[in-house]
Structure 1
Amino acid sequence: MIRRSRLDITIEILNIAMHGAKKTQIVYGANINSTIANGYISMLKEKELIEQRDRIFRTTDKGREYKEIASELQLR
């Protein structure tokens, strides 16, 4: 089993939240548990890469730019 990096998980969460997603969708889509999701969501909100309205998380414009640059820089 290959372990994913923090960057991989961050990009996955930003992808899931592009069109709006509830926390449950993020947890299942990124294949992480709720506690880990809380940490990532808090960090992304703090850095203004994701925003929350009611119970819906959405990737911000800054988050979209970050995701595109990070995806390009990944070595695979």
Structure 2
Amino acid sequence: MPLEDALEEGLKKSLKWRFKERRGKLEIIADILSATLKGAKKTELVYKANINFTRIERYLTYLMEIGLIEQIHGEYRITEKGREFLRDYQNVKEQLVT
């Protein structure tokens, strides 16, 4: 196999792996909700949800607006509506895997 073909094949595999592993918005939301089950500060959420500060701000604002999380004494906590969403998300994910 010529070098150009080998490089192209390697690039295709690398890109395919990268895009396959990229999380969607629902996965990020589920990660944030999971991290707020026992309450968490913003810095903790950044690390637990593996997301930067700019993006976590947007997600937290959105999740509070739709009632999936709430902020109490500087900590973010999942609401009952958030628990239902997380439970439903996990059920759908399990159904897709099996």
Q: TM bucket by the smaller chain?
A: over 0.9
Identify, as 1 or 2, the structure richer in helix: 2
The alignment-based identity, stated in percent, is 42
SS at match of 2:37: helix
* 2:52 alignment partner, one of 33, 38, 53: 33
1:52 counterpart = 2:59: no
TM-score (norm 2): 0.74
| Structure 1 residues without counterparts, runs of 5 or longer | none
- Work out which of the two has the higher radius of gyration on C-alpha atoms and give 1 or 2: 2
Quote the offset at 1:69 in angstroms: 0.3
Q: Name the structure, 1 or 2, with higher relative contact order (CA <8 Å, separation 6+).
A: 1
> How much does 1:54 deviate?
2.3
CA distance in 2, matches of 1:11, 1:65: 11
Structure 2 counterpart SS, 1:70: helix
Following superposition, which runs of at least 4 residues in structure 1 exceed 3 angstroms of deviation? none
May I ask how many residue pairs the two structures share in their alignment? Answer: 76
What's the secondary structure of 2:36's corresponding residue?
A: helix
Q: How does 1:1-76 map to 2 (within 5 A)?
A: 1=18, 2-74=21-93, 75-76=96-97
Measure, in 2, the Cα distance between the counterparts of 1:21 and 1:70. 21
Compute the displacement of 1:10 (Å): 0.3
- Distance in 1 (CA, whole Å) between partners of 2:75 and 2:41 is 5
